[in-house]
Structure 1
Amino acid sequence: MAKIGCAFGEDHRQPTKVEFQLKLRQSKPIYDAFKAIRGSPDWENLSDARKRVVELKLKEAVLYGVSLEDSKRERFNEIEQELEKLAQKFEENILDAKKNFEKVIKDKKEIEGLPSTTLAIAAEMAISKGYEKATADNGPWVITLDGPIYRSVLQHACNRSLREEVYRAYVTRASDGPLNNTPIIERILELRLEKAKLLGHSNYAEFSFETKTATTDKAKDLIDKLHNASWSPAIQDMEELRDFARGQGAEEANDLNHWDINFWSERLRESKYDLNEEELRPFFSLPKVMDSLFNLTKKLFDIDIEPADGMAPVWNKDVSFYKVKDSSTTPIAYFYFDPYTRPSEKRGGAWMDVVVGRSSVLSSDNNCPRLPIAQIVCNQTPPTGDKPSLMTIREFEAIFHEFGHALQHMLTKQDEGLVSGNQGIEWDAVEIPSLFMENWCYQRDTILAIARHYENGETLPEDKCLRILSARTFRAGSQLLRQLRYAGVDLELHSSYVSGGPESIYDVDQKIGKNTHPIPLLPEDRFLCSFSHIFADKYAAGYYSYQWAEVLSADAFSAFEEAGLDNDQSLKEMGYKFRETILALGGGKSPNEVFLEFRGREPTPDAFLRYNGLLPTVAA
């Protein structure tokens, strides 16, 4: 999940916005008022939600410098302003660097292996660049670093030199020339450390963990445990991949590099499970995915979702608007859905963001609370010609993920706006509902409900469904290690790294990479220059949150397994319990309390490791 940022140019309102937020958070009268509430005789009579609001606002005020002396507070504010500008520039540089890369291909031999869906997108891109007669069959084709094209080239292009060129361009985005993010990263880290020390912390990670449920030690401990569980499987993955490529007569089999991994992994997956991701696309059309998602949420949470186009203005013709109703048929929330990639104006990835939150204070009629509105933004493969958006498993998983975030925002029952939905929830717990929803993507009934051919309505054969489920753990150790690289380098940069010291930021990344990648990172790898999560979003010293939340979400999903996934009544009861705790309570209670209320015990990593095939087998 990420916040939407400014795509083009400098937003001249940002300094004013930041100044206002700082004045609000550093307001002595407001701070003293909250302290007075906490110290009043009526404190114990307040609801849990109101107590949480007071405690959170007091902590926020301290973390934003309310207690600093005038000169130090002035410096703190200067740092905040500069960090905001740097984050915005960081994101703009990535977008501009992505736009700057395009490779025109006219020889059909060079794009051998690329699926028709990718060729159609590449041809449409060519048309937009002035090649008016471009077609998917005959080209020319314009290859970009936009997500759907980049991933497809790495997975399917037989042309190894094309894969290498695109991969190198991708991992060095925004790392040279006027778009170089390296000095921006150095400055961000320098300012964050100064900010943390102003507030009495030894490093930025220590500051960041003030707003987490975990501690630095617990986060590192989790990373170590998951690393130990995934390293040997990842080494086995690599050996299996080399053996397979060798068996296919590949010249590069003994020297596989990063631009070969996805290509040969896809060939191995096709061979091992008899699955071709591109051949599956026709069974996963966006309209069918959305219908099935809405039916699942009806089954689990007793809500109805209906189109509400025309009720609210939209920013693009492809954006839809929906209303959410409960069993009483009364609207309880609304959401926008912006599904398709738009390379020239929309940053990559997928996210849910808040338009407005549920709040009794901000109600317009003083009788009912203001209803929440969410926006869900993805970068799915767009429709081409007369075909709807045809999706990969990963793409429909992304929709389920972001919809999980939206459900927590929309199904909250908290009327205190500051802790409704996902507001007031510690950052390492906000991914629980999103990752929980991903688990439903790998259930037989969910897949069979979705997977119908967009042309003739044919249902995906049962055996292919079962093979999709079996393939879930394919290269799971390697995939987890990739995430642990990001989490590890994030914590290292924000806890131990010193700008101007003997190690560069890339030395740190290379060091972490040696422990998370069976193939060493390229010496010129500059992934950090596009690591928006920690340099332009809220995941600084918090990227581990994905793994932390994965453990909790898997444990939560296992409660549904225990209830019986084929028992509709049990699912309904468990869904009600999940809705009334994880989704309804928002930030009104600490996430640890909420999880305990739902699960009845502390979380364990067993379900997460089991779902990923990483639990060690015990000999009989």
Structure 2
Amino acid sequence: MTSTANPLLDFSDLPRFDLIQPEHVKPAIESLLADGRTLIERLTAESTPATWTDFAGALSDGLEGFGRAWGIVGHLHSVNDVPAWREAYNEMLPEVSRFYTELGQNLALFDKYRALKGRPEYATLSREQQKIIDNEIRDFRLSGAELPEDQKPRYQAIMEELSQLAAKFSENLLDATSAFAEIITDEALLAGLPDDVKEAARLNAEKAGLTGWKFSLHAPSYGPVMQYADNRELRARMYRAFATRAAEFADGSSKPEWDNTPIMKRLLELRAEDAHMLGFANFAEVSLLPKMADTPTQVLAFLRDMAAKAKPFAQRDMAELLAFAKDELGIADFQPWDAAYVSEKLLQARYAFSEQEVKRYFTEPKVVAGLFKVVESLFTVKVKPDNAPVWDPDVRFYRIETPAGELVGQFYMDLYARETKRGGAWMDEARSRKRTAGGMQKPIAYLNCNFARPVGDKPTTFTHDEVITLFHEAGHGLHHLLTRGEELGVSGIHGVEWDAVELPSQFMENYCWEWEVLQGMTAHVDTGAPLPRALYDKMLAAKNFQSGMMTVRQLEFSIFDMRLHCEFDPKGNKTVMDLIREVRDEVAVLIPPEWHRFPNSFSHIFGGGYAAGYYSYKWAEVLSADCYAAFEEAGNPFDPAVGKRYLDEILAMGGSRPALENFRAFRGRDPSPDALLRHSGMIAT
């Protein structure tokens, strides 16, 4: 099938989202897989020299189309998970997994890379090309290339099953999340909820042909109920439904086939088998090999050291919460479904403002314009609206240019929640930067969030946390878009150690707290007035409200993930729930009920790429806070010299050199946790 007949095979420019349909997936991917196998056969032939041009560069360029096409399919599966797209994705997933496993185990390719590294030419290659060769040799070893031939089919089967299980985990979670509906017909039960939340719920009910208000477990609906609803029974019902998604319980909208418990067990068994086949003691060692951190012991020591520093602050936060609930709200039997509600009331009482009050100032047009202004000021570029085919009418498209008008990169922005869109927020790539015969191919990114849609004729408004989320994902996007990489394997986010990937995203979050930035990115939804300085001062005073509790919660997830992959035996008597209870006993201050099934919805480690890597959020937080401290030391968050150095040494470098070298080049020393502890208000005085 030609590219004209199949838009998924058209790589001439932007993805053809106006034409691509599920029926295009199978023929396009099968064709590209066949082309890929033919290419590999040619490049591994003895007649093909082990040089960069004839072999390594040709392989990277030759497989790029396949990666881009499958990336589009995966993207549409995430943002438009209707039955047809789910079926098209899942039908080809085993074939794609098999291809990548074959690629990683191909000894002839492995030998060619080793031969290239041993040739005199290696010393003459660019730093990027040398790094790619070194990474490939490492990854071949991690992909089972050195396994005996009789073990390779089993390894391949493991890889295929792992990819299918991860996809099924995410699908079960989405299905269980979308299936639940809380229908309210008595408006008195909605006391405390903001008007825009109630109106969105009313429209959701109307859309479903119902009278009243319909609430769901998706973030824009669930979060405000837990934070603002005075009705304690409503909060308890919603909490129970959210906490037992994709679990074994048969109440509410749960279905036995959505239970992720057996999937988790099987994933852990296969990961352990994978590690043992490769000669590692556990999967955590496999996961850490391409990361900054060296060993599971080192990571756990880092996490426990942070926990020891944070837990006293968390215990103080919890004691204040319990006392306020009892003394001011009459809640003597405090429960986890009271936590967000009581926290909001305490926040209002202590700092005389509410998140809902702040939200009225963060109107979407001003926030997006404010984000772009930060990017333009920091990195001397221009962000401009552009046109492109999109997968949903609400998606917008932009281009980044130099001051002279030269294209740097482009990105899609998909901000609103949909029932067919996976939860959370994420950045992904549509195309990477590389040098071509005709010049330079420019990068393209997707920025995806799950914010509430506008209601009526007013723009949607964001909580400050949602503003931070948007800046976070934009930071990932900038890492991909502002690269100066010229080779695919280390361009943008490629080749960057996983535990350093969050540095640029968390770095951008700091700008959400700068008065200079907030002045220009706020306009009250009714009056158009910017955020008042008095309200900003209250926000700043409240910035570290419950930072101890939030820190130990992230450390709980990180320690659970690392222990799960370095010491837990999935075939033993201890269950996943037993382990997370152990971890909570060690670090947590807010203990959920026995029936809470957090692991069943922990998609980062079971449905995503964070297995034995969730610690990287906290690891990278140390790096990002230390990087931002360089601007603080300069006395200007937009200091041009520091901004240029950050761009040159961190963002532009991509994966072309180790992340620790990038950091040292920018800061002139190794990382220190002091800035993070200071920013979080957890340096004891």
TM over 0.5: yes
Higher relative contact order (CA 8 A, sep 6+): 1
Distance, in Å, in 2 between the alignment partners of 1:205 and 1:407 is 29
1:283-326, CA deviations, whole angstroms, 9 ceiling, x for partnerless residues?
101110111111111111001000002xx210000000100001
Find the residue that maps to 2:428 and give its secondary structure: strand
Deviations 1:578-597 (A, max 9, x none): 11111100000010111111
Q: How far 1:31 sits from its partner (Å)?
A: 1.4
Q: 1:205 — aligned with what?
A: 284
- Partner residue of 1:217 out of 267, 278, 297: 297
Aligned to 1:322: 398
Aligned 1:87-486 pairs, distance under 5 A: 87-131=166-210, 134=211, 140-176=212-248, 177-215=256-294, 216-250=296-330, 252-253=331-332, 255-309=333-387, 312-342=388-418, 344-360=419-435, 363=436, 366-486=437-557
Matched, 1:506 2:577: yes
Mapped to 1, the partners of 2:585 and 2:219 lie a distance apart of 26
Q: Distance in 2 between matches of 1:609 and 1:336?
A: 35
Alignment-mate amino acid for residue 272 of structure 1? R
Query: Are the aligned partners of 1:422 and 1:587 in contact in 2 as well (CA < 8 Å)?
Result: yes
Aligned 8 A contact 1:513 1:521 in 2: no
Q: Paired residue for 1:522?
A: 593
Q: CA deviation at 1:367?
A: 3.1
Conserved 8 A contact 2:102-2:156: no
Q: Equivalences for 1:40-119 in 2 at 5 Å?
A: 40-119=119-198
Aligned to 1:137: none
The answer to whether the Cα contact below 8 Å between 2:493 and 2:501 also exists between their aligned partners in 1 is yes
Give the drift of 1:502.
2.2
Deviations 1:111-136 (A, max 9, x none): 111111211221121012112xx5xx
For 2:621 and 2:571, the matched residues in 1 are separated by 35
Please tell me whether residue 595 in structure 1 is matched to residue 673 in structure 2.
Answer: no
For structure 1, the 5+ residue unaligned runs are: 135-139
The 1-side partners of 2:280 and 2:562 are apart by 15
Contact kept in structure 2, 1:307 and 1:322, CA below 8 Å: yes
* Contact 1:510–1:521 (CA under 8 A) maintained in structure 2: no
**Shift of residue 499, structure 1, vs aligned partner:** 1.6
Name the SS of the counterpart of 1:469 in structure 2.
Answer: helix
Could you say what the CA RMSD is over the residues aligned between the two structures, in angstroms?
Answer: 1.3
Equivalent residue letter for 2:376? K
Structure 2 portions without partners, runs of 5+: 1-73, 249-255
Decide whether the 8 Å contact of 1:50 with 1:416 is kept in 2: yes
Q: Tell which deviates more after alignment, 602-611 or 94-103.
A: 94-103
C-alpha distance in structure 2 between counterparts of 1:387 and 1:446, whole Å: 23
Can you list the C-alpha shifts for 1:323-359, whole angstroms capped at 9, x where unaligned? Answer: 00012211110000000011x2011100000001001
AA of the residue aligned to 1:46: L
| 1:19 and 2:98 are equivalent in the alignment | yes
Q: Tell me the amino acid that sits aligned with residue 296 of structure 1.
A: V
Q: Is the partner of 2:434 in helix, strand or coil?
A: coil
Instruction: Say if 1:514 and 1:521, in contact at 8 Å, map to a contact too.
Output: no
Whole-angstrom CA distance in 2 between matches of 1:491 and 1:417: 30
Q: In the alignment, residue 242 of structure 2 is paired with which amino acid?
A: Y
> Residue 574 of structure 2 aligns to a residue in which SS?
coil
Deviation per CA, 1:506-542, whole angstroms, max 9, x where unpaired? 0001111122322322111111011000001110000
Q: Distance in 1 between matches of 2:681 and 2:647?
A: 28
How far apart are the structure 2 equivalents of 1:519 and 1:44?
Answer: 56
Q: Tell me the SS of whatever aligns to 1:300.
A: helix
Match of 1:248, SS state, is helix
Counterpart CA distance in 2 for 1:513 and 1:130 is: 43
Amino acid at match of 1:151: G
Counterpart of 1:325 in structure 2: which amino acid? E
Equivalents in 2 of 1:371, 1:29: separation in Å? 32
User: Contact between 2:269 and 2:571, CA under 8 Å: does it hold in 1?
Assistant: no
- Deviation of 1:378 after TM superposition, in Å, equals 0.3
Question: Matched residues in 2 for 1:111 and 1:514: separation?
Answer: 35
Shift of 1:186: 0.1
How many Å apart are 1:244 and its aligned residue?
1.6
* Partner SS state of residue 478, structure 1: helix
Cα displacement string for residues 351-393 of structure 1 (whole angstroms, at most 9, x for unaligned residues): 0000010011xx3xx2322110000000012100011110100
How far residue 220 of structure 1 moved from its aligned partner, in angstroms, is 1.1
The residue that corresponds to 1:576 in the other structure is 644
What secondary structure, in the 3-state scheme, does the structure 2 residue paired with 1:423 have? coil
CA contact (8 A) 2:409 2:444 kept: yes
The number of residue pairs the alignment matches comes to 596
CA distance in 2, matches of 1:290, 1:95: 28
In the alignment, is the contact (CA less than 8 A) between 1:257 and 1:519 conserved in 2? no
Q: Is the 8 A contact 1:448 1:465 kept in 2?
A: no
Contact 2:247 2:597 in 1 (8 A): yes
In 1, Cα distance between the equivalents of 2:262 and 2:633? Answer: 51
Q: What is the identity, as a one-letter code, of the residue corresponding to 1:428?
A: D
Q: Secondary structure at the match of 2:275?
A: helix
After superposing the two structures, state which structure 1 stretch, 375-384 or 273-282, moved more: 273-282
SS at structure 2 position matched to 1:305 = strand
Q: Distance in 1 between matches of 2:283 and 2:103?
A: 23
CA distance in 1, matches of 2:595, 2:96: 38
Q: Distance in 2 between matches of 1:573 and 1:120?
A: 48
Distance of 1:39 and 1:321 partners within structure 2: 45
User: Is this contact kept in 1: 2:479–2:652, CA < 8 A?
Assistant: yes
TM-score w.r.t. length of structure 1: 0.94
- For residues 528 and 208 of structure 2, what CA distance do their matches in structure 1 show? 36
Amino acid at match of 2:550: Q
How far did 1:451 drift? Answer: 1.8
Give the distance between the partners of 2:111 and 2:148, measured in 1 at CA: 16
> Given residue 545 of structure 1, which amino acid in structure 2 is its aligned partner?
S
What letter matches 2:230 in structure 1? C
Q: How many angstroms apart in 1 are the aligned matches of 2:113 and 2:391?
A: 39
Q: What amino acid sits opposite 1:148 in the alignment? A: P
In 2, Cα distance between the equivalents of 1:275 and 1:121? Answer: 23
Report the Cα distance in structure 1 between the residues aligned to 2:190 and 2:602, rounded to whole angstroms: 29
Q: Separation in 2 of the partners of 1:27 and 1:358?
A: 27
Alpha-carbon distance between aligned partners in 2 of 1:60 and 1:439, rounded to the nearest angstrom: 35
Deviation (angstroms), 1:455:
3.6
**Residues 411, 421 of structure 1: 8 Å contact kept:** yes
Could you tell me which amino acid in structure 1 is paired with residue 429 of structure 2?
V
Tell me: CA distance 1:271–1:422, structure 2 relative to 1, closer, same or farther (3 Å). same
